[in-house]
Structure 1
Amino acid sequence: MQDPDASGSKRSPWRWGVPVVCAAAGLLLGVTHGVSGGDEIRRSDAPRLVDLVREAQQSVDRLATQRDILAGEAQNHHGGSPAAADALTAITRRADALAGPAGLVPLRGPGLVVTLNDAQRDAQGRFPRDASPDDLVVHQQDITAVINALWSAGAEGIQVQDQRIIATSAPRCVGNTLLLNGRTYSPPYVISAIGDATAMQDALAASKLVSLYKQYAARFGLGYLEEARDVELVGYTEPVRMQYAQPLGPMGY
């Protein structure tokens, strides 16, 4: 006769495995439902990468077409009619003619180079005892005096350091450095001009402010040098913007 306890100890492991499998399947179904939002995961209307790329390309093509249309309208507006084309040609011709006098193109020719420098220490490493700090440095008025004298002598173009001087240029001294068109420079300051070297030298000699600088140069050791030679000037390449000036009328007054 079989012992009941002996039969119970030989029950199949599926008694516990089946519930575990069912529970895992239910958990997986629940997660899938949450991800899909109740819809089919592989439904036919789901967006695909190739569809997104195609839509983006269509958008680019559409915008490119709009761009071409607008560009054509702008071209027709400015130069579509013979009168507009003639006006644009006249403006361009006038701008080209004024580029040289305005300092927008490079120049090369005979001229004069003036170099100004701060005072240097003597062999013992000392400055003159009676000199104040202002006596030992090049000031804005010194640079401006040289530039004005060169212009008065008929200079065709002037350059300070590596920048062309135009009508809106304004050299400024900040401490012992020079500020010109947003860039700073340290001495020595090299001022180059194209024109009649003799006439420019005479103008420098006749300038009261330049003569005053030369006196300080002799007394405190400031640097001053004139050199007549061939000069190359760069063209002014930055945008020329008028912030405050306004035309007064057809004749300029």
Structure 2
Amino acid sequence: MEYTSGAASWRKVLRRVVVALLPRRAAQHRRSVWTVGVPLIALAAGLLFTTTATTAGGTSLREDRRPELAQLIEDRRDRVEASEERAAALRDKVEDQTSALGGSDTGVTAQRERAAASRQAAGFTALTGPGISVELDDAPQYGDGTQPEDASNDDLVVHQGDVQAVVNALWAGGAEAMSIMNVRILATSAVRCVGNTLLLHGRVYSPPFKITAIGDPAALQRALAASEGVRSFKDAVVHYQLGYRETVEPTVTVPAYDGPSGLRSAKVPG
């Protein structure tokens, strides 16, 4: 190897040194990044695992909660039924005490007789006679789980307005008494739908919804045929295969109303 002196020689040496050191410095820089980064990543992962464990509380976060929800609904339903039974027992107790008091109080006796004369018209007694029943049902799914073309989910279920249209038509046709799902309907009854279920007097019913009315069958059928809401539902029956069936009943019984009879508010017409 030949060595030279002077500034040029030193510049060559410095270039060689710089070239030799650069890779080592880059490698050292990479090592320093990993030396700091790995502990930070491990710390973040530890915090994530700790937060997940605390949130889960010993349970699986991916566990299906639908069975738990179904059990909760069932428990609530049992509690409502138990409360209704207690309320019925209390009403019977009040009735017994009122009857006992009426035996010695002429004013109470007179009011009880006046109330008894209105019980049938108010729906507090069962009624039997000829009439008609109407059944409304959701559209069935095809065997492969599909639905009719160009149909939305709303097109395939019975809605609150459909049930109300039938009820209003039957009242307009001269119905003397009516029930939905064998539950007596009064002037104060409200028909509400939640999804594709029916909420009536605090209870939930699933389709098909059966509406029974006592009255002149021919007049009731004419009222149904004249109802715009019922005709609209029949059109949906044709297009989306919803269920609709009218049945003339030679003799049918509509049960008495057995729920609470107290009014929350009332207004006397002027």
1:116-127 correspondence to structure 2 within 5 Å: 116-127=136-147
1-side partners of 2:254 and 2:128: how far apart?
6
Matching residue of 1:234? 255
Q: Is 1:143 aligned to 2:163, yes or no?
A: yes
Normalising by structure 2, we get a TM-score of 0.60
Matching residue of 1:180? 200
Choose which of 140, 162, 165 in structure 1 pairs with 2:182.
162
Choose which of 143, 146, 154 in structure 2 pairs with 1:134.
154
Q: Deviations over 1:168-227 (max 9, x none)?
A: 110100011000010000000000000001100000000001000000111001100000
Matching residue of 2:221? 201
Report the Cα offset of residue 162 of structure 1: 2.1
* Aligned-partner SS, 1:112: strand
Do 2:102 and 2:109's aligned partners in 1 also have CA atoms closer than 8 Å? no
Normalising by structure 1, we get a TM-score of 0.64
Matching residue of 1:114? 134
- Partner letter of residue 201 of structure 1? Q
Structure 1: gaps (5+ residues): 1-73
Q: Deviations over 1:72-118 (max 9, x none)?
A: xx99xx7698xx51x32221111111110111111111100000000
* Aligned-partner SS, 2:256: coil
2-side partners of 1:79 and 1:103: how far apart?
23
Matching residue of 1:222? 242
2-side partners of 1:133 and 1:145: how far apart?
20
Do 2:132 and 2:213's aligned partners in 1 also have CA atoms closer than 8 Å? yes
Aligned pairs, number: 171
- Partner letter of residue 165 of structure 2? A
Sequence identity percentage: 49
2-side partners of 1:79 and 1:131: how far apart?
62
Larger radius of gyration: 1
Report the Cα offset of residue 143 of structure 1: 0.4
1:44-123 correspondence to structure 2 within 5 Å: 85=106, 87-123=107-143
Name whichever structure is richer in helix by fraction.
2
